[in-house]
Amino acid sequence: MYSVSIIIPTLNEASSLKRTLRQLSVLEPSALEVLVVDGGSTDETVAIAQSYGVQVLSCDRSGRSVQMNHGAKSASGDILCFLHADTCVPDDLIAVIEQTLADSTVACGGFISLMSGQQTTRWGISLHNYLKTYYAPLLFRPHLFFKGLRLLFGDQVMFCRRADFWDCGGFDEALPIMEDGDLCLRLVKKGKIRQVNRIVQSSDRRVARWGSWKATAIYLYVGCLWGIGVSTSYLKRFYEDIR
């Protein structure tokens, strides 16, 4: 049996975190630990995390890569699971993770992300995101696709063995976005990347702000440019933080 540490990077996530932590509190089996790594929230994020009795870490620098690495350094589980504060998971999350990584040829896994809001489900964008896991590596890294590369992103709840994570150097803290795809490119050297045939539910707040057509255009633009090697510092300007 593996032990699983769940790491949640936060920055002003009070509107989402309570629901996420409530779901984590009823996981069966439970996680070894839940670590909330806060990057300097000015709302009630830290107080909410403390009220659920999870471990709260403060990070001097905000930025998802920095915060997730900080959490990984403090984690004691055999497996690291990186969870966004606005993503909801099934109550058998830990069992699914353990079963996936029981296959020694698999280095990393993630879920199918269903994007939804209070009154709508973004079926079209969710389908595109599902397909992107496969077509993006096939288009831009075909030699790695046939070795098992699938491109996972943060809202798919990525998980991997702690030893493999650090052997690959963890998340690249110099990257303002696409740190998740970058990690997949390095983890595939350890084994296959697998998209598990199970659903997690992610907030549609970015699509709600941009609109479906604009969001799709930005996702394609950023993804394609990253695929051909354009700097993430340039791409970040098109991908604003939305809370």
Position 243 scores a pLDDT of: 57
What is the number of alpha carbons within 13 Å of residue 83 lying toward its C-beta?
Answer: 31
What is d(CA 110, CA 155) in angstroms, rounded to the nearest whole number?
Answer: 9
In a domain, 14, yes or no: yes
Is 38's pLDDT higher than 90?
A: yes
Average pLDDT over the chain, rounded to an integer: 94
With respect to residue 84, please indicate whether it lies within any of the assigned structural domains.
yes
Structure confidence at residue 208 (pLDDT) = 86
Is residue 168 within 8 A of residue 183, CB to CB? The reply is yes
Q: How far apart are CA 192 and CA 16, in angstroms?
A: 32
Q: Report if residue 91 sits inside a domain.
A: yes
The verdict on residue 243 lying in a domain is no
Tens digits of residue pLDDT in 198-221: 999 999 988 888 888 898 898 899
Q: State residue 215's pLDDT score.
A: 87
CA distance 86 to 118: 13
Q: Residue 233: is its pLDDT beyond 70?
A: yes
pLDDT tens-digit map of 127-179:
999 999 999 999 999 999 999 999 999 999 999 999 999 999 999 999 999 99
Q: Is residue 61 scored above 90 in pLDDT?
A: no
Q: What percent of the chain has pLDDT over 70?
A: 98
**Which CATH number do you get for residue 178?**
3.90.550.10
In-domain check, residue 155: yes
- H helices, E strands: number in the chain: 11, 8
In which domain, by residue range, is 183 found?
4-238
Q: Establish if 106 belongs to a structural domain.
A: yes
The answer to whether 34 and 54 have CB atoms below 8 angstroms apart is yes
User: If pLDDT is split at 50, 70 and 90, which confidence band does 2 have?
Assistant: confident
CA–CA gap between residue 105 and residue 157 (Å, rounded):
19
The model carries a pTM of 0.94
| Structural domain count, the chain | 1
